[in-house]
Chain A
Amino acid sequence: MANYPTETLLSWSKAKEIRETYYKNYAAAHDKGGIRWVGGAWTFDAVPAGLGGNVYSLTSEPYGASCAFNKDFSTRAMEAAETAGYARDLCAYMRNYWGSILMDEYAFGGPFPKPDFIWQDHICCSHAKWYQVVSELEGGIPMFCVDVAVGPAEPFGTLTDSKIDYVTGQILDGIEWLEKTTGRTYDDELFIEACWNDFRSTSRWAQVCELNKAVPAPLDEKTMYSLYVLATLQKSWGVVADYYDELYDEVKDRVERGIAAVPNEQARVMSDTQPPWSALKLFRYLEQYGVVSVGSLYTFGLEGMWDFDPATGDLVPRPMPEKKPTTREEAARELVRWHLHKPEYQHFYDCDYKSQMMVAICKNWGLSGVMLHYNRGCEGLSLGIAENRLAIQEAGYPVMTFEGNMGDEREFDLGRTMQRVDAFMETLGVKKVAA
Chain B
Amino acid sequence: MIEMFEEWYKSRHEYAKEWKDKTGGKVMGFFCTYVPEEILLAANVLPVRILGSHEPQNVTEPHIFGMYCPFCRDCLAQGLLGRYDYLDGMMIAQSCLHIRQAFTSWKKHMPPEFTYYLPMPHQVQSPRSIPFLRSELETFKGAVEQWVGKEITDADLDRGIELMNASRQAMRDLYDTRKSANSPMTGLEAMYAAASNQWIDKAEHTAAVREALAKELVGRDLGLGDKTRLMILGSEDDDTAFVNMVEGCGSVIVTDDHCTGSRYFWNQVEPEEDRLLAIAKRYINRPACPTKDWPQRTRLEHVRMLAQEWNVAGAIIIQQKFCDPHELDIPEQRKSLGEIGVPTLFLELDVTVPVGQFKIRVEAFLEMLAEEDLF
B244 interface residue (CB < 8 Å to A): no
A147 touches B96 (CB 8 A): no
- A137, chain B: closest CB distance, angstroms: 10
B108 and A352 form a contact (CB under 8 A): yes
- Would you list which residues of chain B between 287 and 343 have a CB under 8 Å from chain A? 290-291, 294-295, 297, 321-322, 324-325, 327-332, 334
- Docked Cα-Cα span, A135 to B108, in Å, equals 40
| Contact, CB under 8 Å: B295 / A145 | yes
Check B126 for interface membership: any CB of A closer than 8 A. Answer: yes
Contact with A along B31-63 (1 / 0, CB 8 A): 000000000000000000000000000000111
Nearest A-chain residue to B319, judged by Cβ: A87
User: Which B residue's beta carbon lies closest to that of A347?
Assistant: B104
Q: Considering the chains assembled together, what is the distance between the CA atoms of A225 and B96 in angstroms?
A: 29
User: Is A379 at the interface (CB under 8 A from chain B)?
Assistant: yes
Is the Cβ of A170 less than 8 Å from the Cβ of B297? Answer: no
User: A179 at interface (Cβ–Cβ under 8 A)?
Assistant: no
Q: Are B65 and A145 in contact, with the CB atoms below 8 A?
A: no
Using a CB–CB distance below 8 Å, which chain B residues touch chain A?
Answer: 61-65, 67-68, 94, 96-98, 100-101, 104-105, 107-108, 117, 119, 121-123, 126, 128-129, 131-132, 135-136, 139, 290-291, 294-295, 297, 321-322, 324-325, 327-332, 334
Which of A160-168, A213-221, A281-289 faces chain B?
A: A160-168
Q: With both chains docked as a complex, state the minimum distance between the C-beta of A298 and any C-beta of chain B, in angstroms.
A: 15
Min CB gap A160→B, angstroms: 7
Residue in chain A with minimal CB distance to B117:
A349
**Complex CA–CA separation, A390 to B64 (angstroms):** 11
Expressed in whole angstroms, the Cα–Cα distance for A128 and B124 within the complex equals 12
Across-interface contacts of B62 in A (CB, < 8 A) = 386, 390
Q: Which residue from chain A places its CB closest to the CB of B327 in the assembled complex?
A: A87
Contacts A87-B327, A170-B126, A380-B97; A129 near B64 (Cβ below 8 A): no
Q: Is A398 an interface residue (CB 8 A)?
A: no
Q: Contacts A91-B324, A132-B295, A351-B101 given: A386-B64 contact, CB under 8 Å?
A: yes
- Kindly report which residue of chain A lies nearest to residue B103, judged by CB atoms: A350
Residue from A124, A146, A379, A390 having most chain B Cβ neighbours under 10 A: A379
Decide if B104 touches A348 in the complex (CB within 8 Å).
no
Are the CB atoms of B325 and A129 closer together than 8 Å?
yes
Chain B residues with CB below 8 A from A382, complex form: 65, 67
Tally of contact residues, A, Cβ under 8 A: 51
A135 to chain B, nearest CB (A): 7
The 8 listed contacts between A and B (C-beta, < 8 Å) are A86-B327, A87-B327, A87-B330, A133-B328, A351-B104, A379-B98, A379-B322, A387-B105
Q: Is the CB of B67 within 8 A of A173?
A: no
Point out the residues of chain A lying under 8 angstroms from B100, CB to CB. Answer: 348-349, 383
Do residues A90 and B327 form an inter-chain contact, with CB atoms below 8 A? yes
| A387 close to B104 (CB less than 8 A) | yes
Least CB separation from B335: chain A residue: A85
Provide the A152-165 mask, 1 if CB < 8 A to any CB of B, else 0. 00000000101101
Closest to B126 in A: A170
B residues near A163, Cβ cutoff 8 Å: 119, 132
Task: Answer whether residue A418 sits at the interface, using C-beta atoms and an 8 A cutoff.
Answer: no
Say whether, besides A122-B122, A128-B122, A135 and B101 are in contact (CB < 8 Å): no
A136 contacts chain B at the CB level, 8 A cutoff: yes
Residues of A366-416 at the interface with B, using a CB-CB cut-off of 8 Å, are 374, 376, 379-380, 382-387, 390
- Residues of chain A within 8 A of B325, CB atoms compared: 125, 129
A128 vs B327: C-alpha distance when bound (angstroms): 14
Interface of A is mostly: mixed
B213 nearest CB across to chain A (Å): 38
Please state if A151 and B328 are interface contacts (CB–CB under 8 Å). Answer: no
CA distance A173 to B129 in the complex (A): 12
A126 touches B324 (CB 8 A): yes
- A89:B327 contact, CB within 8 angstroms: yes
Residues of chain A contacted by B321 (CB below 8 angstroms): 89
Contact of B97 among A132, A144, A379 (CB under 8 A): A379
Cα-based distance from A386 to B329 in the complex (angstroms): 28
Q: Is A255 an interface residue (CB 8 A)?
A: no
Measured in the bound complex, the distance between the Cα atoms of B105 and A105 in whole Å is: 42
A384-B295 in contact given A90-B324, A147-B121, A379-B324 (Cβ < 8 Å): no
Q: A84-B331, A129-B325, A382-B67 are in contact. Are A166 and B295 (CB under 8 A)?
A: no
Q: Which 4 A-B residue pairings sit nearest by Cβ, starting from the closest?
A: A147-B123, A162-B135, A166-B132, A85-B331
- The answer to whether B121 touches A166, judged by C-beta atoms less than 8 angstroms apart, is yes
The reply to whether A129 and B294 form a contact with Cβ atoms under 8 Å apart is yes
- How far, in whole Å, are A126 and B98 apart by their CA atoms in the complex? 12
Q: In the complex, what's the smallest C-beta–C-beta distance from A358 to chain B, in angstroms?
A: 15
By the criterion CB–CB under 8 Å, are A149 and B128 in contact?
A: no
Contact code string A340-363 (vs B, CB < 8 Å = 1, else 0): 000000001111100000000000
* Chain B nearest CB, measured from A345 CB (Å): 12
Knowing A125-B291, A379-B97, A384-B101, say if A132 contacts B64 (CB, 8 Å): no
Report the Cα distance A385→B291, complex, angstroms. Answer: 21
Check A162 against B104 for contact (C-beta < 8 Å): no
Whether the pair B126, A147 counts as a contact (CB closer than 8 A) is yes
Cβ contacts under 8 Å, A87 to chain B? 324, 327, 330
Q: Are B131 and A144 in contact (CB under 8 A)?
A: no
- The docked-state distance in angstroms from the alpha carbon of A69 to that of B295 is 30
Assess A379 versus B68: contact at CB under 8 Å? Given A85-B334, A91-B324, A170-B128.
yes
Nearest to B328 among chain A residues (CB) is A129
Q: Are A149 and B121 in contact (CB under 8 A)?
A: yes
